[in-house]
């Protein structure tokens, strides 16, 4: 198995200094960096395979189609789907969730029906359901959060009823790091006759995920958070549901027959991929799947768990730091915190001067910020290329921020 430093050296962007310091990138929950094999695979596609897919009968088009559909096969295996036909390429998690809400959601949700979500959702898994509920006169229900930012299955049993049509939940919170009991929630939802939609943007890149084991109906994630390029994502859907869904984008490639006054659609997943797709993005995502598979998702998860434990212990050395979310063992590889009396944007600016890149803001989770009683927070998120040395650099930079803002901290 490769060491952390060997892996780090495969990411060219991490070899450059930042503000005269060693670059410490701790914002992988927003977007991950890209290893050389992914960068080179995208370049090879454009250098040797570039053509439109599915349409041409010439050899180059066949090569491009093989690379594009091969990526679909790789993704299906990576998440344990029954078939590549259950993999829809999208622009990212946001588009995947919106597709389910706009297509299946608008058909199956009616007045008085319930949609159950949590207050910890990213806006991408909140606003589509909020707008669907408003349009249909449905009831949007929120599972209560425990003081540590977790949810209880007892509350899910109570809030998910026979009127519930859709349960939408993040597998991992992008703010709290909470790992939600998706498998158990799927059992509850199905027993009540509801579907479950999983936002897996923060789980698929960081831990082994098997959609058949989870028994989720839909699951969405983004390529750019898992060593792949931006602009490509995946919506997994059980074949039985995808086959019932109508497309929401119309045009070339997604049609079967077009007449003057009516048209018919291809089978899923192609009916949802109108127009020229992001071919290079899909090929790059396939390369990212190969890379992560080579490292081993169990290894990625284990290393992140070790890092987050180390980070939590080190952060507790600074009494003025407030940490949000559950303890080690109940969270994924990120830590959200605030330095008392200092706005997180100011903290992030000082850290940037030390070469440490973190996130600061509401993290597209404004309802959760209000629940926390914070206007914004700072977030350090880890990935396979991070080391304990990176955590030490974070702590040293925070010590400098504490000293710089000592007048505000008191």
Instruction: Enumerate the active-site residues.
Output: 364
Q: Which helix (H) or strand (E) holds 256?
A: strand 255-258
Q: What is the rounded distance in angstroms from the CA atom of residue 378 to the CA atom of residue 315? A: 13
Task: Decide: 38 and 283 in contact? Cβ < 8 Å.
Answer: no
Q: Regarding beta strands 21-22 and 17-18, do their DSSP bridges make them parallel or antiparallel, or are they unpaired?
A: antiparallel
Q: Which residues contact 77 (CB under 8 A, 6 or more apart)?
A: none
**Any long-range contacts for 75-79 (C-beta under 8 Å, 24+ apart)?**
75/234, 75/285, 75/286, 75/289, 78/204, 78/289, 78/292, 78/293, 79/204, 79/209, 79/210, 79/211, 79/219, 79/234, 79/236
Q: Which has the closest alpha carbon to 78: 203, 230, 182?
A: 203
Q: Which residue has the tokens 């969270």?
A: 331
Angle ∠(92,95,98) on CA atoms, nearest 5? 150
- Cα distances (Å, whole numbers) of residue 34 to 7, 46, 224, 302, 374: 11, 17, 8, 20, 32
Name the DSSP letter for residue 124.
G
- Record the tokens describing residue 341, joined without a space: 């009396």
Residue 183 CB neighbour total at 10 angstroms: 14
């Amino acid at each position: 198995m490769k060491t952390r430093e060997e892996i780090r050296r495969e990411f060219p962007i991490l070899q450059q200094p930042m503000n005269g310091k060693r670059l410490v990138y701790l914002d992988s929950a927003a977007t991950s960096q890209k290893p050389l094999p992914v960068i080179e695979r995208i370049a090879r596609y454009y250098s040797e395979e570039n053509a439109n897919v599915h349409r041409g009968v010439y050899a180059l088009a066949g090569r491009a189609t093989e690379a594009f559909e091969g990526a679909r096969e790789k993704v299906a295996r990576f998440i344990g789907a029954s078939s590549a036909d259950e993999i829809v390429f999208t622009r990212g998690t946001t588009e995947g969730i919106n597709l389910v809400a706009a297509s299946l959601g608008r058909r199956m949700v009616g007045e008085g029906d319930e949609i159950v979500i949590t207050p910890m959702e990213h806006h991408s898994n909140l606003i589509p359901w909020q707008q669907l509920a408003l349009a249909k006169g449905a009831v949007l229900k929120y599972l209560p959060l425990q003081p540590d930012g977790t949810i209880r299955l007892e509350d899910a049993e109570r809030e998910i009823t026979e009127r519930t049509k859709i349960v939408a939940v993040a597998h991992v919170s992008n703010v709290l790091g909470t790992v939600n009991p998706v498998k158990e929630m799927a059992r509850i939802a199905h027993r009540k006759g509801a579907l479950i939609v999983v936002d897996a943007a923060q789980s698929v890149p960081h831990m082994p995920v098997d959609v058949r084991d989870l028994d989720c109906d839909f699951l969405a994630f983004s390529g750019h958070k898992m060593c792949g390029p931006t602009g490509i994502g995946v919506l997994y859907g059980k074949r039985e549901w995808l086959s019932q869904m109508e497309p929401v984008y119309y045009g070339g490639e997604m049609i079967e027959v077009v007449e003057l006054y009516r048209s018919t659609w291809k089978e899923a997943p192609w009916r949802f991929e109108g127009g020229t797709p992001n071919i290079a993005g899909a090929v790059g995502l396939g390369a990212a799947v190969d890379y992560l598979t080579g490292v081993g998702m169990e290894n990625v998860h284990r290393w992140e768990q070790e890092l987050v434990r180390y980070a939590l212990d080190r952060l507790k050395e600074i009494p003025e730091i407030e940490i949000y979310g559950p303890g080690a063992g109940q969270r994924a590889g990120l830590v959200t915190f605030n330095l008392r009396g200092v706005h997180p944007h100011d903290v992030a600016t000082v850290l940037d001067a030390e070469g440490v890149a973190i996130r600061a803001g509401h993290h597209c989770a404004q309802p959760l910020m209000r629940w926390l009683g914070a206007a914004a927070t700072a977030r350090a998120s880890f990935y396979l290329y991070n080391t304990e040395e990176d955590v030490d650099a974070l702590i040293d930079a925070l010590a400098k921020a504490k000293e710089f803002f000592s007048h505000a901290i008191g």
